[in-house]
Structure 1
Amino acid sequence: MAFAEKNLTVRPPIDVEGRRIKRYHVTADPAGIEPEVEDAAHRFLPQLLRTLPEPDGTPPGGFLVLHRGGDDGAYLNVYSWVWDNVLHFAGGAAGQPVLGCPDRDPARFVRLDRSLIGCVWELPPIAHERDAWVRHMLAAPAPDLDGYLADTLRAPTTGTTGPVRPGTRQPHG
């Protein structure tokens, strides 16, 4: 089976449903994710955020990974911090009938009802986000949601080996 890393792009954070969400895009296409797929994912995002537990005082932060597959598929993984140190997941898919999508349209998202948290190209941001949450929210003298939102995995591909620090180059596969 052939394997190739994919492009990883960080988009500016957005505010949705009272939550501040970092955004990562994953795609093999150097041009990025099509605007209509990104727009459809953003329209679907509130539905996924409504699956969160009731607010409990945890600062309302999280991140998403929007992945455009090599076929018709598009995947929206939304991760939100709850109960101070727990990562909640909700996912959507489009264009992938095997996952319950009605057709092959990569802009028609449906809620995933399976216990899938991400594929190999979608997992690198999770490792970074865990460390960023600890740095800015749990180990800091005071929680710093703005600092957390500014701390993103900035690497050209999903083949990262750890967080990128300002002024350093990230090795990749």
Structure 2
Amino acid sequence: MAFTEKLLLVPPPVQAGGRHVKRYHVTADPRGIDPEVERAAYALLPDLLPPPDGTPPASFVVLHRGGDTGAYLNVYSWVWDNVLHFAGAAAGQPVLGCPDTDPTHFVRLDRSLIGCVWELPPIQHERDAWVRHLLAPDRPDLAAYLADSLPAGTTGTTTPASTPGTTTVTGERA
């Protein structure tokens, strides 16, 4: 199976359910995610957010338009000061319990899936940004966290491999 990275788009944050929500969009389409799919996904967003618990009210989402009929909304929210809460929804993917192949008909997922290979890169960035701006400083800075997003580009990065003398480059094996 050939592997190809997808595009990573970074729209501005929004507010939903009393939370600041950073956004990442993943797609192979250079035009981005269809506005109808985006509207349908974000209409469900407030239902996927946890209640406030005293942690700065911040979340991030990964909206992914698959290469077939599927669309996926992964919602990650900071709770208990340093824990990442997950809730997800899918549309157009009957194998996940969707009633049809309509990519705008989102339903909440009840499976313990947290994301595919194209949806995972924002998690590492967001973890590091949360530590950098809210946990490590003497004074937590939610505004700095909200301004610190993974840059738009592709879902892959150049990363040193754990084995000395080898390097893995996006989409290739060393």
Q: TM-score, normalised by structure 1?
A: 0.90
Tell whether 2:145 aligns with 1:142: no
Partner in structure 2 of residue 9 of structure 1: 9
Comparing 153-162 and 124-133, the one that deviates more: 153-162
Structure 2 CA distance, aligned partners of 1:12 and 1:55? Answer: 22
What is the CA-CA distance between 1:56 and the residue it aligns to?
2.2
In structure 2, the partner of 1:165 is none
Count of aligned residue pairs for this structure pair: 162
Find the aligned partners of 2:120 and 2:29 in 1 and give their Cα distance: 18
CA deviation profile, 1:54-78 (whole Å, cap 9, x unmatched): 4221000010000000000000000
Match of 2:117 among 91, 106, 120: 120
Aligned to 1:131: 128
Partner amino acid for 2:155?
T
2:137 alignment partner AA? A
Give the Cα separation in 1 of the matches to 2:86 and 2:69. Answer: 23
Identity level (%): 75
Q: CA RMSD in A?
A: 1.3
Deviation at 1:44?
A: 0.8
Greater alpha carbon shift after TM alignment, 123-132 vs 146-155: 146-155
Q: 1:61 and 1:87 mapped to 2: Cα distance?
A: 10
Q: What is the rounded CA distance, in whole Å, between the counterparts of 2:137 and 2:8 in structure 1?
A: 28
Q: Spell out, residue by residue over 1:25-49, the C-alpha distance to the aligned partner (whole angstroms, 9 max, x if none).
A: 0001111000000000110111111
Q: 1:155 to 1:161 in 2, by over 3 A?
A: farther
Give SS of 1:101's match. Answer: coil
Note if 1:158 corresponds to 2:155.
yes
Runs ≥4 in structure 1, deviation > 4 angstroms?
Answer: none
Distance in 1 separating the partners of 2:12 and 2:158: 22
* Matched position secondary structure for 2:151: coil
- SS where residue 64 of structure 2 aligns? strand
- Quote the residue 2:74 is aligned against: 77
Larger Rg: 2
5+ residue gaps, structure 1, are 163-170
Within the candidate set 53, 56, 81, 1:56 is matched to 53
CA contact under 8 A between 1:157 and 1:172: conserved in structure 2? no
Among candidates 99, 102, 113, match of residue 102 of structure 1? 99
Aligned with 1:22: secondary structure? strand
Question: For residues 92 and 160 of structure 1, what CA distance do their matches in structure 2 show?
Answer: 26
Cα distance between partner residues in 2 of 1:6 and 1:45: 23
TM-superposition CA deviations, 1:113-150 (whole Å, max 9, x none) = 00000000000000000000000000012111110010
1:12 is paired with a residue whose SS is coil
